Every structure is written in C-alpha cells, then in structure tokens.
A and B are shown apart, each in its own frame.
Chain A
Amino acid sequence: MKPSPSPRAGDQAPRWARWFVGAYLAVFVVCGVFGFEAWPLTGWRLFADARQARQPGFQAVTVDADGRETPIPFRDLPAGFRGDVQVLKGFADLPTARQAAVCQAWAQEVRARGGEVAEIRIYATVTDVSERVGDRAAPPTRARRFTCRPRTADAAG
C-alpha cells in the first residue's frame, strides 16, 4: 500500500534529531576537510598523493641454509600478515624487540608452509616503473637494511 504523500500538519523533526544530524555532519565534514582520522570517521585519503615514476619500497626475503633468497609470499599468507607494506615502511622505527618479533612471526608462518628460514633480510628498494621490461618494471635497485635471525634483528647498515 502506497502511503499518502501529504505529511501531517505541524510535523516537525524533533530537537534531538536536529542536534544529532548537525553534530554528526559537522564532525564528518571536519574530518573530510582537514583529513583527520578518527575511525570510523576518516579523512578519505584515497590515492591522494601524486605518484612519481621512481617509487621507493621494501622487500622482505627469507634466506635458506644455502643462502638462496625467496621473497616472502605475503599474498598467500593469512589475512593478518597482509599489512606487510605498512609494517615494512615502519620497521626501522620499531623497537629492536618488536623488529625481532615481526621477523619471528614471518619466519614461523613461512616454516609452517614448508619453507626453510635461516634468516630474513629486508631490502630498501627503488623501482622505476617507467622502465619496462616486457609487461613488468625493470628490477629495482636494492640496499639491504636489516637482517633478522631468530629472536634478533640488527641493522646491516
């Protein structure tokens, strides 16, 4: 049944509704304009920065007993491991004990999947995505930043 389109006479939104909507939209707009993150309110920064062709990043690899390096397959690990980009970006600022714990967690998960992990190396990379080799970017330049062994992490300079 379609309701009658005419509202009741004197039908006004209650005062609490006006305050509620006013306050809610005010904080929503403030977060949007100033880019504040007060989750679930957010500054809506989605691809907000202009990217350059040369893109800095990090790469974490496991090293087996023979010295062979294998990139950690973060995409294949459980959901809790998929913040690797952010963890790697902030790795240098973590306390040493936390760095070791991060490496330990990665090593444990790779070992649980049958991988051999003698150590974990973290490289700072610079990829020039404008240099293409076929459908891929040319290999990045790498500089080793950290080497983690069981329960230790030390800067490799």
Chain B
Amino acid sequence: MPPGERGAVDSDRRPGSGRATLPLRGAWRRLGRLPHARAKGSGPLAGVERWLFAPGDPRRLAAARIGLCGLLAARLASGPYPELATQPPALFRPISFLRLLDRMPSPEVVAALQALALGAAVLACVGLLTRVTLPVAWLAALPLVAMTSSLGKVVHNDVLLLLCLVPLLPSRAGAAWSLDARQRPPARPGTAFGWPVRTAMVVAAGAYFFSGLGKLLHAGPAWVLSDNVRWVLYASSDTQPDPNPFALFVADRPVLAHLVAAATLAVELGFPLVLWRPRLAWLFVPAALAMHAGIGLAMRLDYSVMAATVLVVLVDWPALLDRFHPPGQGEVPGPVPVEERR
C-alpha cells in the first residue's frame, strides 16, 4: 500500500506467509482432526494468525514501548503505594499473589520496589538496555499495582496497562527510537516487530469487548432498557461531597440515560472491529476516550491510564508522524540514484 493511502492506524498490515501456524494447529493436524483447507492456512483462524504474525514497523513497536513505559513511570511516580504500605493489617484484602502476605508490604520494601520499578521504566522508555529494563520495570511494578487492588476491588485502570505491556516484555522493543538503537544499523520492518503491537491491540480491544459482554451476561438487555444508568449516576452523585451536575443532568433525563447506556454497550461490544477495519479506530478510540471522560466527570472515577493505554496502543503513531512530517523532509538532500531521477 502506498504511504499516502495509509490510515493513521495500523498501517503496517501486510499479508504474511500462508505457512504460518498456531502452536496447537500442528497437534490437531497430526491427530487428523483439522480440515485440510485450514491446515493450509485458509480458515478464519489462519487469517487471524497471519494478521498477528505479519511483519511490522519497528517504529510502531518503539512508540508502544515509549508510550506504555512512560505511562507506567508516571503511574509509579504518583501512585499511593507509600500510603498503602502503612495500612492497618485488619483492612488488608489481598488479591492474587499478595494473598501470600498477611498485610501490605512494608514501607521499606515498597520504597525499594518503587525506586527500582520507576528507574527501570524510565530507562525502558528511553530505550536503554531495553531487553532487561522493560521486564524489570514490569515485574517490580506488579506488586505495587496489586497493592492498589488489595482494598477489596480490582482497579481496572492500571490492569490494561500491565496487560498491554506483557507482549512487549520478550520483544525487540528497543530496536528503534531508543538509546540502544543508536549503536546499531536501523532496524527494518519484520515479523519481530508486528506481533507484540498486534497482541497488545487485541488485549486493548478485548478489554472493552469483555466489559460489554459482562454486562450482557450479568444484566442482559436490562442494562440498557431499565433505569440502571440513572440509578448508577444518582447513587454516584449522592456519595460525592457535592451533588454532581453532570451525573444529575443525565440521570434526570430517562431518554438520555438510555441513549448513554446503549452507546456504552455499542462502543464496548463493537470495539474489536478496529482490529478488522483499522480506520474504525478513528470512531472507536475517540468514543472510548469520551466514555472515560464522561465517567470521570459524572462519577469521579479515574480511568485515565486505561484511556491513555488505548491511545498509545491503537493509534499508529509512526504513520501519523509520516503524515505530518513526511520522511526526508528537513534532511540535507543527498545524491539521488539514477533510477529515481527518471
């Protein structure tokens, strides 16, 4: 696809090899249970696999690394971890591996983890020793973020960031736009740079889809058709120090509340369409950002990190950069090969 025809999202979709196979496919084929056509790579699963493992632009992976590590660093620098470390043990409601403890980690341990995680996240962001600093940042941040979810409720705001970083951990995320890359020849597009970003995109889209699916499974159509959103907004406003004008504006208007509920469900369930039609990101990403902004205004719930994660992962930043600053612009003109002068 010529660069001029690229969208600003996922411009690196290119056909991959038809020989690509998922790990379990070989086992199924050996058992003779997978249709021949699928084994050849013509089924929907093979299409998904070709998309996931198609070559990618190292700059797109670099943009994801810089954005996600920057977010992680900002979160680690401003998080309430030292305050949580002083929580009385009786109030500790641990989640996941923190159940191994009978109270929050001590202030000393938290300070050490925070310094390590923050330092490593900053280094990973600028791309210094990325293969080491990125996993160290993620591992050291994990118990700190778990602390924020050990008050009895999962804090989803940070979870998406952590989950989108997972595919970057073993990847060559420092191959471009990094201090590491200054010592090496420029990286060319390849399969090593495609799957980490696309896996993160699937996770980001899946987060919204499963949020919507959860609403359908637990509440059904009543989530939209009943006065559910009105009662949620009234209850939220009532627990805030002052009545919330945004929450009350929607809650006082039943038709508007139904529309908000329907739009929320449509955005969440429709979000994976951005993987199929990247240009739809122009619709769904702003819609998700608006949804988080609305929740922030009306309910004073902070989903800023989740929103920023979606922005980092689903926008094709290199393509956007190329659109506003075409390659070669501002560079000193060099000799032009004879073939290009014709």
Contacts and interface: CB of A to CB of B under 8 A. Distances in A.
Q: Do A and B bind each other?
A: yes
Interface of A: 1-8, 11-13, 15-25, 28-29, 32-33, 35, 37-53, 55, 75, 78-83, 85-87, 89-90, 98, 101-102, 104-105, 108, 127, 129-130, 132, 134-137
B213 A32 contact: yes
B271 to A, nearest CB: 12
A49 B217 CA distance: 9
Interface stretch (B128-136, B226-234, B279-287): B226-234
B199 A24 contact: yes
B145 interface: yes
Interface residues of B, number: 85
Given A48-B218, A130-B231, A130-B234, A22 B153 contact: no
Contacts, number: 212
Interface string B196-218: 00010011001101110111011
Contacts of A89: 152
Interface of chain B, main secondary structure: helix
Given A3-B186, A129-B234, A83 B153 contact: yes
A13 B191 contact: yes
Interface of B: 14, 17, 19-24, 52-53, 55, 57-59, 80, 83-84, 86-91, 93, 95-96, 104, 142, 145-146, 149, 151-154, 156, 159, 162-163, 166-167, 170, 176, 186-192, 194-195, 199, 202-203, 206-207, 209-211, 213-215, 217-220, 222-223, 226-228, 230-232, 234-235, 237-238, 241, 243, 248, 322, 327-328
Contacts of A21: 52-53, 167, 195, 199
Contacts of A80: 83-84, 86-88, 91, 104, 151
A50 B228 contact: yes
Given A2-B322, A21-B52, A53-B231, A83 B210 contact: no
B214 A45 contact: yes
Nearest to B192: A13
A28 B238 CA distance: 35
Given A7-B14, A51-B228, A40 B199 contact: no
Contact of A12 (B142, B191, B219, B220): B191
